[in-house]
Chain A
Amino acid sequence: MTLDVSALDRPVQPGQFFHIRCSDNWKHPLRRPLSVYNYDHESHCLEFLYLVKGNGTQQMTLMRKGDTLSLLGPLGHGFTLPDQGALLLIARGVGVATLHALARQARSENMEVHVIMSARTPGDLLTVDTLSRLGATVYTVTDQEGTSSVESVRALSETLICEEGISAIYTCGSSRLGKLVQELAETYHLKGELATEAHMACGIGDCYACACTIRKGNQLKTVRVCTEGPVFPISQAVLQ
């Protein structure tokens, strides 16, 4: 979905989200948080890549060219880039949407970007061509081809880390891969960040619906994904 957001008067960071009113239909009142897939600061075009999952996204498919919708944002904390070195992005499923925004930002600053994209089937792999056109190197793994196990992704990641000068590693879309990224970041002393998602009501920090647990020092803390996140340093992530 592409929106003209000419009224938007502030910068949008990769990893941030907008809280979207999916329809005027009172049957489905709650907004849905969708992370930014792409924002063009010059044309003021804001793009979202979404998976039709439930009532909210179903309503979004009914929108037609020229329709308007209400959105709050940009909200939350986005990704931060490393000072130097290459980036490794590990995405599962539609988790690639928010990492795409990061890849675009990094490429615009001439940083090297490697993306490992994981999905159930080759047909579920999203935006491979777009990422390649940006100049990112994309490696795809799928359950169907038997290439997406944590161990194979680990092996591939370690090769890239050792051979491509990776200094930062980012992930979204799978807690198993999140755990892997956490281990890799620690082992290889990499900057690491994780984009999370959560059910939200207000989206701005008032209702405490989107709580998640993070580790700060030796303490576990409950924080709000909408305001303290949705991007967290991977070292703070508490993954099941």
Chain B
Amino acid sequence: MTDLSVRIGSLTLKNPVMPASGTFGPELAPLLDINLLGAIVPKSITLSARGGNQTPRVCETDGGMINSIGIQSKGIEQYITHILPVYQDYDPPLIASISGESIVEFELLAARLDKQPGVAALELNISCPNLRDNGQAFGMSAETTDELLRTVRKVTGKPLIAKLTPNVTRIQDIAEAAERGGADALTVANTFLAMAIDTETRKPRIGNIMGGLSGAAVKPLIVRLIYQAHQATDLPIIGSGGIMNGQDAIEMILAGATAVQIGTATFVQPNAMNIITDEITDYLERHHIDQITDLIGQVDVS
């Protein structure tokens, strides 16, 4: 029997496959077996309601897509009363992705969710490229990342996962800062700040001018970032960016990931996460590997 279970801090997942925030919702239930996921990650929640960004909010690019949704949200209270209950009857633990406009907002969100038994862990979205000017994000500064984690750490005992931005010169510095600040795990990474232009109209193809690139096109960049972050810290890493099949997931695990998130692939094929989990199992059986954790960071660079 192949053991797919992995640990993210104090949290045990029955397998390493979970959705990337913003790509998953209860609407998938008829198309995807949610109970077969390692974890549930609903869309990032903000403290107060947000309307989201100008349309078009998505465009297709070669092997990927750019999005700038802007975290359209109804605020934390509606999340607690309406979103969390939707998932309480599913088996997988729920990781709440939170997004603040200031460190204080992250602190308030974490404190509010700390009391929710339906929340198993918090993912801190310190890396959304679509909220501030020119894609600026908290996770671009090691100092801010450290301070943010330190502040949130004080108000909750739940596992904290820092979702890093790939739009930095050295991700190792940010990974180390998150670890120092008290993170239990890292998500590597959010989307790449990107832009596309319609050559006929000369207009940007995204209403917000820039957005975040995801999909198969970014996978080699993410594999590299996981490899670099894994060398810099001992924290478990959740690989996210461009996984389209089980082989892609294994590649990220070999680079140093403990678990993986799937986003764009779900838009293409709504049951992609179930298929990817099966393909991971097939790979382990084919290679006679009993535990998936034996593969973490096992890229052979000799």
Q: Which residues of A contact B (CB under 8 A)?
A: 21, 26-31, 55-56, 70, 72, 198-212, 222, 227
User: What chain B residues lie within 8 Å of A202 (beta carbons)?
Assistant: 23, 27, 266-267, 270
Residue of A nearest to B68 (CB): A209
- 9 new A-B contacts, CB < 8 A, other than A208-B22, A211-B55, are A21-B269, A26-B216, A30-B268, A199-B55, A199-B57, A201-B267, A206-B28, A209-B58, A210-B57
Given the known interface contacts A26-B244, A29-B65, A202-B266, the answer about A208 and B52 at a Cβ–Cβ threshold of 8 Å is: yes
Given the known interface contacts A29-B63, A30-B65, A56-B60, the answer about A206 and B27 at a Cβ–Cβ threshold of 8 Å is: yes
- Interface contact B57-A29, CB-CB below 8 Å: no
Q: Does B297 contact A (CB under 8 A)?
A: no
User: What chain B residues lie within 8 Å of A210 (beta carbons)?
Assistant: 55, 57
**What are 20 A-to-B residue pairs whose CB atoms are below 8 Å?**
A21-B268, A26-B63, A26-B216, A26-B244, A29-B63, A29-B65, A29-B215, A31-B268, A72-B31, A199-B59, A201-B65, A202-B267, A204-B31, A205-B25, A207-B58, A207-B267, A208-B22, A211-B55, A211-B72, A227-B27
Q: Which B residues from 188 to 224 make CB contacts under 8 A with A?
A: 215-216
- Select A30's contact among B31, B55, B267, beta carbons within 8 Å: B267
Give chain B nearest CB distance to A69 CB in angstroms. Answer: 13
User: What chain A residues lie within 8 Å of B24 (beta carbons)?
Assistant: 206
User: What chain A residues lie within 8 Å of B55 (beta carbons)?
Assistant: 198-199, 210-212
Q: Which residues of B contact A (CB under 8 A)?
A: 22-25, 27-28, 31, 43, 51-52, 55-60, 62-65, 67, 69, 72, 215-216, 244, 264, 266-270
- Select A27's contact among B63, B264, B266, beta carbons within 8 Å: B63
Q: In the bound complex, what is the Cα–Cα distance between A208 and B58 (angstroms)? A: 10
User: What chain B residues lie within 8 Å of A201 (beta carbons)?
Assistant: 58, 65, 67, 267
User: What chain B residues lie within 8 Å of A222 (beta carbons)?
Assistant: 51-52, 72
User: What chain A residues lie within 8 Å of B23 (beta carbons)?
Assistant: 202, 206-207
User: What chain B residues lie within 8 Å of A198 (beta carbons)?
Assistant: 55-56
User: What chain A residues lie within 8 Å of B72 (beta carbons)?
Assistant: 208, 211, 222
User: What chain A residues lie within 8 Å of B264 (beta carbons)?
Assistant: 29
Q: In the bound complex, what is the Cα–Cα distance between A152 and B52 (angstroms)? A: 38
User: What chain A residues lie within 8 Å of B52 (beta carbons)?
Assistant: 208, 211, 222
User: What chain A residues lie within 8 Å of B64 (beta carbons)?
Assistant: 29
- Interface contact B267-A72, CB-CB below 8 Å: no
Residue of B nearest to A56 (CB): B60
- Interface contact B216-A199, CB-CB below 8 Å: no
User: What chain A residues lie within 8 Å of B58 (beta carbons)?
Assistant: 30, 199-201, 207, 209
- Interface contact A55-B60, CB-CB below 8 Å: yes
Give chain A nearest CB distance to B95 CB in angstroms. Answer: 16
User: What chain A residues lie within 8 Å of B63 (beta carbons)?
Assistant: 26-27, 29
Residue of A nearest to B50 (CB): A222
Given the known interface contacts A29-B264, A31-B267, A199-B58, the answer about A207 and B216 at a Cβ–Cβ threshold of 8 Å is: no
Residue of B nearest to A199 (CB): B56
Give chain A nearest CB distance to B243 CB in angstroms. Answer: 13
Q: In the bound complex, what is the Cα–Cα distance between A24 and B256 (angstroms)? A: 30
User: What chain A residues lie within 8 Å of B267 (beta carbons)?
Assistant: 29-31, 201-203, 207
User: What chain B residues lie within 8 Å of A204 (beta carbons)?
Assistant: 25, 27-28, 31, 270
Residue of B nearest to A221 (CB): B51
- Interface contact A209-B67, CB-CB below 8 Å: yes
Q: In the bound complex, what is the Cα–Cα distance between A208 and B68 (angstroms)? A: 10
Q: In the bound complex, what is the Cα–Cα distance between A118 and B67 (angstroms)? A: 33
Q: In the bound complex, what is the Cα–Cα distance between A180 and B119 (angstroms)? A: 49
- Interface contact B62-A205, CB-CB below 8 Å: no
